[in-house]
Structure 1
Amino acid sequence: MRRQLNSPGLPGQDEIQVDQVDRLLQEAGTDWDRRAHRFGVLADAAARSGLARSWRMRRPRSGDALVFEAWVELVRGRHDGRMADIQAAADSCYRAADALPEDPTPWVVLLAILRLARADTREVFPVWHEVTARDPWHREAHLQMLRYLSPEECGSRSGQSEFVHAVRAAVPVTAPAAGVELTSLVEEHARTTAKGGVEALLIRNLWTNNRGTTALDTVLADWPRPGRLQHATALADLNLLAFALVQAGRVREGADTFRLIGDTVTAWPWSLDGDPLGQFGYWRGKALG
């Protein structure tokens, strides 16, 4: 029986797990979006184990090992609210960037570390440009910047809006970062609902005004067609679209989207309205019925 990444393991098992992780990352090749997705999933799974350190100790010159350890430290930092040694994690990213000069992943992790540290924009934007020079539509990097620029973190409502507008004007509609505007709307929906009051009662206006309808119409024209979205987290973006259509009162228009999703339900954003599986199942029934 295969052990989980967070199990103590037996002598030699760490080496087997390192080989497994290494192989999964290598198989992604230069698909930077898929590679980052695998790094993130594996780092989450390994966060409570010593696997990342074991890999780096065994293969100290491996850029992937350095990135992986930094990402694991980032996962732990998010859980704890602070990183144990932010400088060491950042240094690992710089060393990985030297070892993997064409790969945006070390810069993506560094961007996330700086976001967690609430670093100044003078530190953050040069790292952002390193990512986009290597992969202009990197999904994870765009989402990190979207949240860094939010009024809840280190930006403002106007600054975040400018970022979303710039992305919308340039990003191809089926690129990995095409869900940035929809993500910003769902997050605004969540913030407004959580605050309560009159604005929360009128939240549907967010989805029926020009900004909301334009965002939905744009992705509806392309996303819900088989094979159109090819990036690693395409199903997460389709879940986002299905949720947004529900909020906009356009459930029937989501039939093709729900069919493409199948049974792959993401916790967010469905958890905003209760149990994700229950919410998804209910609205899928409405859309397909």
Structure 2
Amino acid sequence: MLRYLPMIVGAICIFYWFKTRRPDSVIASANPRQSARSTRLGLLPVAQLNKELAAPPEPELLAALAAARSGDWRSVADRFAGTGTDWERRSIYAENLADIAAADDSWLLAWEKARHDDPDAAIVRARATVKLAWRIRGDYSASHTSRKQFDGFHRTLVRSREDIARAAALNPGDPTPYITEIWTALGLGYPHGDMDHLWAEVTVRAPHHFEAHFSALQYWCAKWRGSDDLAHAFAARAAAGAPLGSLMSAFPLIAWFEAHFDQTVKASAYRSAELTSLVDTALADAAAAPADHPRLAELRHLLAYFLFRQRRYDAALEQFLLVDGYVAALPWAYYGERYYGAIREATVRKARRANRSEPTRPHSS
């Protein structure tokens, strides 16, 4: 997904306490204002950072979204069909189109009427129903959410199961309906056994699907339906034996971050042998990934953060140069663009490379 968590990261559900937790003291010790060094490197001022995306979207996706907003469902259908069996891209298209349909589905209704059994329209509908449920619930904690909101949330999530089942029946090889259901499982509180069954449906179709793993890891986190131990175990299984370039190395880092992001962590913990090894593996994973992998930037954002924490400032700067301009990714999604700016400025100040004359940043990948 180009937007994180919805995923935690805005569109699906960011808990109120995410917003009120204070990040560690680096936000106070590093100035997020644009420095001359950052300007020379081509890094953007904080005010110009894109807070909705983790990386630049592909032109075909932008065209599909524009067509949806204008009501041109035929153009949407043609571009969606172009994703074929590229399941990662397909889920990105479904996610972003569903975001529009959850607010105004007139174009989707026209698509469904003209092509009743189109599996592409069906998966957009399923995702839109899940998104609508989370919108009804709202972004705040349970104590700040009304009974009416909760009732509408649960009623709509229950309804989403019918839409998901229909999308799965229309395209049996597609993992996207089952990935969509992870957020239904999270909201309705599926038992662990039911989640295991759902996960098997995903992995038999797409064993290294990034969004699927991200979504499932959220389910297994302590803040939702699992625990720190279950989240770490899930992440370790995801990374074990995964081919380089699959980006599965992101998940042990995410699990570690989820377990510690709201705690005071000693600086030395970031430089432990275990975490250093995880970062080194992730660096190799990113280097081996196709340059156009739609999730590569999300791993690079994580690497920029952890490399900074490990005082590997030149390596951190390399990652910032590759992803700068977009901040809808962990860890910035929890803390905001000023936190990103603070860490980035501290990196620029400390990196040896930034003190030398050099060309501006390369294009994001």
Normalised-by-shorter TM-score class:
0.7 to 0.9
1:254 aligns with 2:254: no
The structure 2 residue matched to 1:71, chosen from 127, 131, 140, is: 127
1:279 alignment counterpart: 342
2:189 alignment counterpart: 118
8 Å CA contact 1:207–1:248 kept in 2: the answer is yes
* Secondary structure at the counterpart of residue 207 of structure 2: coil
1:73-93 per-residue CA deviation (whole Å, 9 max, x = no partner) reads 212222333254223311111
Q: Which moved more, 1:262-271 or 1:55-64?
A: 262-271
Give how far 1:218 is off: 0.9
Give how far 1:60 is off: 2.2
1:101-153 per-residue CA deviation (whole Å, 9 max, x = no partner) reads 11111111122211221111222211111110011001111111111111121
1:232 alignment counterpart: 294
Structure 2, unaligned stretches of length 5 or more? 1-62, 138-152, 355-365
1:210 alignment counterpart: 273
8 Å CA contact 1:29–1:35 kept in 2: the answer is yes
8 Å CA contact 2:298–2:329 kept in 1: the answer is no
Per the alignment, do residues 20 and 208 of structure 1 end up closer, same or farther by CA in structure 2, a change over 3 Å counting?
A: same
1:244 aligns with 2:306: yes
* Secondary structure at the counterpart of residue 195 of structure 2: helix
8 Å CA contact 1:172–1:178 kept in 2: the answer is no
The structure 2 residue matched to 1:219, chosen from 277, 282, 285, is: 282
1:153-172 per-residue CA deviation (whole Å, 9 max, x = no partner) reads 11122222221221221222
1:49 alignment counterpart: 104
In the aligned structure 2, how far is the partner of 1:271 from the partner of 1:133?
A: 30
Give how far 1:46 is off: 3.2
Q: Higher helix proportion, which one?
A: 1
1:188 aligns with 2:251: no
2:170 alignment counterpart: 99
Give how far 1:4 is off: 5.7
8 Å CA contact 1:270–1:280 kept in 2: the answer is no
1:20 aligns with 2:82: no
In the aligned structure 2, how far is the partner of 1:121 from the partner of 1:240?
A: 28
* Secondary structure at the counterpart of residue 174 of structure 1: coil
* Secondary structure at the counterpart of residue 198 of structure 2: helix
Structure 1, unaligned stretches of length 5 or more? 8-12, 193-199
Aligned amino acid, residue 275 of structure 1: E
Give how far 1:26 is off: 1.4
In the aligned structure 1, how far is the partner of 2:201 from the partner of 2:123?
A: 15
Q: TM-score, normalised by structure 1?
A: 0.83
The structure 2 residue matched to 1:178, chosen from 233, 236, 249, is: 249
Give how far 1:230 is off: 4.0
8 Å CA contact 2:307–2:316 kept in 1: the answer is yes
* Secondary structure at the counterpart of residue 261 of structure 2: helix
Two-structure CA RMSD over aligned residues (Å): 2.6
Per the alignment, do residues 158 and 187 of structure 1 end up closer, same or farther by CA in structure 2, a change over 3 Å counting?
A: closer
* Secondary structure at the counterpart of residue 286 of structure 2: coil
Per the alignment, do residues 228 and 156 of structure 1 end up closer, same or farther by CA in structure 2, a change over 3 Å counting?
A: same
1:137 alignment counterpart: 208
8 Å CA contact 1:239–1:266 kept in 2: the answer is no
Q: TM-score, normalised by structure 2?
A: 0.67
Per the alignment, do residues 150 and 98 of structure 1 end up closer, same or farther by CA in structure 2, a change over 3 Å counting?
A: same
Percent of residue pairs bearing the same amino acid type: 24
How is 1:261-272 mapped onto 2 (pairs within 5 angstroms)?
A: 261-266=323-328, 268-272=330-334
1:25-51 per-residue CA deviation (whole Å, 9 max, x = no partner) reads 212121111111121122223321124
The structure 1 residue matched to 2:235, chosen from 164, 176, 187, is: 164
1:198-231 per-residue CA deviation (whole Å, 9 max, x = no partner) reads xx0x343442223311111111234257x64542
Aligned amino acid, residue 78 of structure 1: W
